[in-house]
Amino acid sequence: MIKTYYYNHAENAMYHDVDLTEKDTLLASPDNLLWVDIYDCNEKELHYVGEIFDFHPLAIEDCLQENPRAKVDRYDEYNFFVFHALRYCEDADEDDEITSIELDVFLGTNYIVTIHPVALSAVGKVARISRRTSQLMNRGPDYLLYSIIDNIVDDYFPITERLADRIDELEDDIFMDADREINEEMLALRTTILLMRKVLIPQRRIFANVNGRYSFVIREENKPYYLDVVDHLDRILDSIDTYRDLVSSSMETYYSIITVRTNEIIRVLTIVSTIMIPLTFITSLYGMNVKIPLQDNPYYFWYIMGGMGLLTAFMLGIFRKNRWI
């Protein structure tokens, strides 16, 4: 599906669903801005837009393939970006709890083309505003790109807040009941955190230095907005690093508790086994089909039971004296 949003600077007006074949006429003025949003598209539609804007075949190929890392490629007439939005579903399976959705962006002097496989809420928010007003598109393509990226970054915050709550709950549950579900929760949290770091760190590098040679051209009045994005990414990454350390510490604590409990169980079983060894010997001895002293005594059974009881009490006393129990 292809959606178009066109800002005419001379008229200070917004138009939608314009004819892309008239691209040169629409962009005759450098102050005009054309935004083409493509999602859930097929290869034919993508090549159609690529031919209109004369995009490099390698960039089109990147759009057709999944790119695991964010990046920016500089071409003569435009810059090509790869970003990732995150979709979080706590009730899904461990492997599907959090997924990344690729957003490809072509940024030209007075146009911007966004490509994503499914509808993105971050793009949808900007699109809804652009349908009603020109307040986002009258400040240049770099500001429009900022608006989209800022919404993507803002969507990270609820995820990090929920992760913090889950880690707090996990730390409490570890000391209450160390069961299999806690182990699965820790593995799910670790997987989520690793994926977030994999998404965030490359995106942080893109905006790390808006004045550097690896950066793209940003209008001077729009640089503070990108610096604000960098600040938000830094805060999120700091939180994610903290969560990673907390989960690692929780896993160490969990396995320590499991080890202690296992040792307690083994110690109890060892004591029981140690006590049962001589008792088993006695019962086996007197169970043999041979003549044994005192076997004709009517109290023979009770003598044996009493002796076994005294032996058990003596062994328990030895264990307690040595602080084994």
Q: What is the pLDDT of residue 209?
A: 66
Summarised one tens digit per residue, pLDDT across range 139-190 is 989 999 999 999 999 999 999 999 999 888 888 888 776 666 788 888 888 8
pTM, two decimals, is 0.79
Residue 298 CB-density burial (10 A; 0-12 exposed, 13-18 middle, 19+ buried): exposed
Does 215 share its domain with 247? yes
Summarised one tens digit per residue, pLDDT across range 12-35 is 889 988 888 888 888 888 899 999
Summarised one tens digit per residue, pLDDT across range 196-255 is 999 899 888 888 765 554 467 788 888 889 889 989 999 999 999 999 999 988 888 888
Does 248 share its domain with 281? no
| Strands 111-116 and 98-108, sheet pairing | antiparallel
Does 253 share its domain with 271? no
Does 274 share its domain with 242? no
Summarised one tens digit per residue, pLDDT across range 97-135 is 888 999 999 999 999 999 999 889 999 999 999 988 888
Q: Which of 235, 258, 281 is the last residue of a domain?
A: 258
Does 44 share its domain with 169? yes
CA 311 to chain centre: 59
For 70-76, what is the mean pLDDT?
89
Summarised one tens digit per residue, pLDDT across range 201-216 is 988 888 876 555 446 7
Q: Which of 258, 282, 299 is the last residue of a domain?
A: 258
Q: Which of 214, 242, 258 is the last residue of a domain?
A: 258
Give the residue among 121, 126, 132 at the shortest CA–CA distance from 148.
126
Amino acid at 16: H
CA atoms within 13 A on the CB side of 195: 23
Whether the predicted pLDDT of 308 surpasses 50: yes
Does 123 share its domain with 170? yes
Helix segments in 134-222, DSSP class H: 141-154, 156-176, 180-206
- For position 34, which CATH number holds? 3.30.460.20
Q: What is the pLDDT of residue 94?
A: 58
Does 213 share its domain with 287? no
- For position 314, which CATH number holds? 1.20.58.340
Does 147 share its domain with 174? yes
Amino acid at 230: V
Contact 23, 59 (CB under 8 A): no
**Domains held by the chain: number:** 2
Does 210 share its domain with 305? no
Enclosing domain of residue 308: 264-321
Does 254 share its domain with 269? no
Confidence band of 294 (pLDDT split at 50, 70, 90): low
Q: What is the pLDDT of residue 147?
A: 94
Q: What is the pLDDT of residue 323?
A: 76
Contact 80, 89 (CB under 8 A): no
